């Protein structure tokens, strides 16, 4: 690893502990947090989860409490296959590994894929915890900027003229932190490039179902199947954390067979398999048929919360701050019109009792210090009103 | 890594896939398995687990289904502290990280500790899945033989004259696969050596509670506190898998602070935290006060099953096979009196419909091909009777 790479890695570590500190603040009394990417538990389907848990322990107590398969239970993988099909991701149970959230999917995939020094491209800005898994695997990171249509794939194409890359990691739909989605044209361009230049795409899709409009972009996985005739270089990961319950720690990852064997073997050494109890509960929950309505509930609530936050920001801070209206997901990504270091500003807003995440934490290189991420998922409307008032006072 | 190290690693990978294949066989109809280290679910306290689960979802639904702390819930870490105190392991909640079984504890600790090429010493034979975590971390392995009193610590002392080692990994009580326990004198010698030579001890203690006699050796953690005045170089890990339910995927690891911070930061990238649902269920189960009685139940049943298997072996195969009578745990470690390759013999026993694990899989170097591991935890007494008859027919 070169010095630049090492420096970048040290930055990621520092950022990650900075965010841990930040989240501690957000638990302090009287502090309103717009920082964490935590689903609102006021929206959890406790009735359905309770029913599913009852069924798990009465109908399948042995499966719920005994060791299971490293790849995940057959029953759950079959249901995930059906769930994926509705998203246009056509797969088979044997192509899936059930993981402890998509966070573990990223970590296992990076451990299986990356040799120290391998080049991975990430969006700028990108999801911080993915950077941590790339760092642990000692990947070398290159960044490609994003705009309102997601990653600027032309810039990636330019980069590919001089660099051989192992893969591209991105959240193409309702990105974290940017909130933007990759346009249809750029999706097609990206999967075509991947086949031409033989690199892997890691498609991280935790938020795809949380759309606020009827606009629905095909997944990169689906487009690769259509345009390339195969999905050999797309790794698709998703999670139950944002649509059902993060405490189950259940996600999944779809991979080509050669990678799946490696990932399963590392998972065996890493934790044997995901919680059996969580898996059986998820299996029954999906069996109850309540997920589509639950997703509708979350969509409607987050859409409303997003609109509230956006209009408050517009109204109270519009002369100082600009942002793109999210079409889904959990995050609003804002930028000061005039340069302002938001990490420093955070010290002021903390005094007023409100926290957010400074945008600089999400850049692997060349941070835009004037940016910041606000989550509209966790806070109530009243809290958002008070939070924005406090942000204004901190200016 | 030198060529020898690479060869050793390839061996571990091969062994690990061989065992995966083996366990597939063990799920075939009419095959009796003495292979897997799987607790008998006939002994699970389903009534208590069901009560605890009910309590979890009625009393703490938010905690059960929402994100939690990377280190594990405060409540569970407090109960683990009390549980450890009964074992003579005096610790504090803030020294504990709750993991997805002790398997994850090993993987996280190795990722945090090991730089490629660091020397780790393991027992010969030793627990295969620990070798896998050491392999993934690119440790260089050295082995020290075991006898009926566990690792021959004199040999380790000899080795320390010429080698600087990072750590020693061992299962000091009712070892897997050997079934033996490290004697009191050797325990004292080992913790003293660790302080003198400044290496770490990773004390893996999944089976310590499963003792069949009143004999109880202090943990290395306890002895280090007593003899060295501190536990800075002992990492203690244990699990709920063998005493409660493996499907919860809950274990824990106790570490010095400098290591705990590193482990927590890697765990954050690896899976954020263990299943919240599993943690709240374990918290209520421990609160019900049923664990001591449950451990007594398992002890009595495994003791009986161990005696049955041992007397059958003695009676039917005694002229060919020798073994040490286990004083606890789940495994009986046997050896042919005359050299015989048990991996080859397994092909014969498979035809008769019985599987075990060939001993060679548990050696990091210089395997003893005449050894084999039998588990008495899973099979019923009737199955063991039939299994031993089949083993005899395969001779």
Task: Give A282→chain B minimum CA distance, Å.
Answer: 11
Check residue A50 and give its pLDDT.
Answer: 98
Cβ neighbors of A289 (< 8 A, separation 6 or more) are: none
The shortest CB-CB distance from B275 to any of A57, A67, A249 is to: A249
pLDDT of A6 reads 42
Contact A100, A274 (CB under 8 A): yes
> Which of B1, B76, B105, B249 best tests the A interface by mutation, with the highest count of A CBs <10 A?
B249
Distance of CA B204 to the CA centre of its chain: 6
Per-domain boundaries in chain B: 3-44+293-393, 46-289
* Chain A nearest CA to B332, separation (Å): 21
Q: What is the pLDDT of residue A104?
A: 98
* Separation between Cα atoms, residue B353 and residue B30, nearest integer Å: 6
pLDDT over threshold 70, residue B4: no
The closest CB to that of A269, out of B17, B136, B275, belongs to: B136
Q: A99 and B278: CB-CB below 8 Å?
A: no
CA distance A178 to A363: 11
| pLDDT at residue A67 greater than cutoff 90 | yes
Mean pLDDT of A272-299: 98
CB B177 within 8 A of CB B267: no
The CATH class that applies to domain B46-289 reads alpha beta
**Partner-chain contact B46 A65, CB within 8 Å:** yes
**For A47-290, CATH number?**
3.40.640.10
- Provide the number of CB pairs (under 8 Å) joining chain A to chain B: 176
pLDDT, tens digit, 9 for 90 and up, residues A287-337: 999 999 999 999 999 999 999 999 999 999 999 999 999 999 999 999 999
Residues near B304 by beta carbon (within 8 Å), at least 6 away in sequence: B381
- Banded pLDDT at A36 (limits 50, 70, 90): confident
Distance CA B161, CA B176 (A): 28
Distance from CA of B328 to the nearest CA of A (A): 21
The answer on pLDDT for A12 being more than 70 is: no
Inform me whether the pLDDT recorded for B381 exceeds 60. Answer: yes
Which residue matches tokens 């790479």? A5
Select the residue from B68, B115, B245, B275 to test the A interface by mutation, using most A Cβ atoms within 10 A.
B275
pLDDT at B29: 74
Which residue of B67, B132, B247 is in closest CB contact with A276?
A: B247
Residue A1's pLDDT band, with cuts at 50, 70 and 90, is very low
**ipTM for this model:** 0.95
**Under 8 Å between Cβ of B133 and B110:** yes
Which of A256, A282, A388 minimizes the C-alpha distance to A334?
A388
Most confident region among A23-27, B110-114, B359-363 by mean pLDDT: B110-114
DSSP string, A183-196: -HHHHHHHHHHHHH
Rounded average pLDDT over A174-185: 95
* CATH fold match for the domains A3-44+293-393 and A47-290: no
State the average pLDDT over residues B2-29: 57
For B133-155, how does the pLDDT look when each residue is reduced to its tens digit (9 = 90+)? 999 999 999 999 999 999 999 99
8 Å CB contact of B248 and A277: yes
CA B276 to chain A, closest CA, distance in angstroms equals 5
Residue B30 pLDDT class (50, 70, 90 cuts):
confident
Residue B244: closest C-alpha in chain A: A65
How many angstroms away from the CA of A323 is the closest CA of chain B?
A: 28
Give the best residue of B114, B138, B252, B269 to mutate against chain A (max A CB count within 10 A).
B269
pLDDT at A364: 86
Chain A closest CA to B79's CA: distance in Å?
20
- Structural element, H or E, at residue B393: helix B381-393
CB contact under 8 A, A269 and B61: no
Burial class (CB in 10 A: 0-12, 13-18, 19+), B334: buried
Determine the average pLDDT of the residues in B108-117: 96
Identify all chain B residues contacting A61, using CB atoms and an 8 Å cutoff. Answer: 44, 46, 49-50
pLDDT digits (tens, 9 = 90+) for A69-94: 999 999 999 999 999 999 999 999 99
What does the pLDDT read at residue A25? 66
Q: Which two tokens stand for residue A138?
A: 């000692």
Nearest CB to A272; choose among B41, B50, B103:
B103
Nearest CA among B67, B68, B71 for reference residue B260: B71
Residues in A closer than 8 angstroms to B39, CB to CB, are 66
Q: Helix or strand or coil: residue B92?
A: coil
Contacts of A174 (CB under 8 A, 6+ apart): A180, A181, A207, A208, A210, A211, A326, A327, A328, A329, A330, A331
The backbone torsions φ and ψ at residue A178, rounded to the nearest 5 degrees and listed phi first, read -75, -25
Please report, rounded to a whole number, the percentage of residues in chain B having pLDDT higher than 90.
90
Verify whether the Cβ–Cβ distance A274 to B103 is below 8 Å.
no
Confidence class for position A19, pLDDT limits 50, 70, 90:
low
Is the pLDDT reported for residue B1 higher than 60?
no
Largest CA distance in chain B: 61
B352 to chain A nearest CA, in Å? 26
More confident residue, B14 or A341: A341
* Average pLDDT value for chain A: 93
- The pLDDT score that the predictor gives to residue A30 is 86
DSSP-assigned letters across all residues of A225-293: HHHHS--TTEEEEEESTTTT-GGG--EEEE--HHHHHHHHHHHHHHHSSS-HHHHHHHHHHHHHT-HHH
Residue A15: the pLDDT is 63
Q: Does the pLDDT of residue B13 top 60, yes or no?
A: no
A133 interaction partners in chain B (CB closer than 8 Å) = 269
Across the interface, which of A136, A271, A281 has its CB nearest the CB of B277?
A281
Rounded Cα distance, A281 and B353, in Å? 35
CB pair distance less than 8 Å for B269 and A245:
no
Cβ proximity of A327 and A174 under 8 Å:
yes
Residue A255 has pLDDT above 60, yes or no: yes
List, for residues A342-367, the tens digit of each pLDDT value: 999 999 999 999 999 999 999 988 89
Q: Which residues contact B144 (CB under 8 A, 6 or more apart)?
A: B121, B122, B123, B124, B151, B152, B153, B155, B156, B159
* Residues 6 or more apart in contact with residue A147 via CB below 8 angstroms: A180
pLDDT at B7: 43
Contact A57 B49 (CB under 8 A): yes
B57, A53: Cβ pair inside 8 Å? yes
Above 50 in pLDDT, residue A4? Answer: no
Does residue B91 contact residue B256 with C-beta atoms inside 8 Å? no
H or E element in which residue A392 lies: helix A381-393
The whole-number average pLDDT for the span B115-120 is 96
Residue B188 has pLDDT above 80, yes or no: yes
d(CA B43, CA B244): 9
Arch. (CATH architecture) of A3-44+293-393: Alpha-Beta Complex (3.90)
Please give the pLDDT value at position A20.
64
Which two tokens mark A190? Answer: 């990206």
Which residue from A132, A247, A278 is facing B66, i.e. has the nearest CB? Answer: A247
Average pLDDT over residues A198-219: 96
Q: Identify whether the C-beta of residue A41 lies closer than 8 Å to the C-beta of residue A54.
A: no
Mean pLDDT of A261-278: 97
């Amino acid at each position: 690893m070169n010095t630049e790479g090492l420096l970048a890695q040290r930055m990621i570590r520092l950022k990650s502990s900075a965010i841990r500190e930040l989240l501690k603040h957000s638990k302090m009394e009287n502090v309103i947090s717009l920082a964490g990417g935590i689903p609102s538990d006021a929206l959890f389907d406790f009735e359905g989860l309770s029913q599913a848990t009852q069924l798990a322990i009465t109908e399948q107590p042995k499966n719920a409490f005994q060791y299971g398969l490293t790849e995940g239970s057959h029953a759950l993988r079959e249901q995930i296959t059906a769930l994926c099909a509705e998203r246009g991701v056509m797969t088979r149970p044997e192509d899936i590994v059930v993981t402890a959230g998509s966070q573990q999917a990223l970590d296992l995939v990076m451990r299986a894929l990356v040799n120290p020094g391998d080049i991975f491209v990430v969006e700028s800005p990108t999801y911080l915890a993915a950077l941590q898994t790339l760092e642990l695997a000692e990947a070398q990171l290159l960044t490609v900027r994003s705009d309102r249509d997601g990653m600027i794939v032309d810039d990636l194409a330019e980069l590919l003229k001089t660099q051989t890359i192992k893969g591209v990691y991105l959240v193409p739909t309702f990105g974290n932190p940017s909130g933007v989605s990759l346009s249809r044209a750029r999706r097609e361009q990206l999967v075509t490039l991947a086949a031409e230049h033989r690199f892997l795409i890691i498609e991280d899709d935790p938020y795809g179902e949380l759309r606020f409009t009827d606009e629905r972009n095909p997944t990169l996985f689906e487009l690769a199947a259509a345009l390339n005739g195969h999905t050999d270089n797309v790794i698709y990961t998703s999670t139950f954390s944002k649509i059902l319950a993060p405490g189950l720690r259940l996600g999944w990852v779809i991979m080509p067979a050669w990678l799946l064997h490696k990932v399963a073997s590392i998972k065996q050494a890493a934790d044997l398999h995901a919680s059996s109890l969580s898996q059986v509960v998820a299996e029954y929950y999906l069996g109850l048929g309540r997920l589509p309505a639950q997703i509708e509930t979350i969509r409607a609530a987050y859409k409303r919360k997003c609109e509230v936050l956006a209009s408050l920001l517009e109204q109270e801070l519009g002369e100082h701050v600009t942002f793109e209206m999210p079409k889904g997901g959990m995050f609003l990504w804002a930028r000061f019109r005039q340069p302002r270091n938001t990490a420093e500003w955070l010290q002021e807003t903390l005094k007023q009792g409100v926290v957010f995440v400074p945008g600089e934490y999400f850049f692997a290189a060349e941070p835009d210090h004037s940016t910041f991420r606000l989550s509209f998922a966790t806070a109530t409307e009243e809290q958002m009103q008070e939070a924005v008032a406090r942000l204004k006072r901190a200016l």
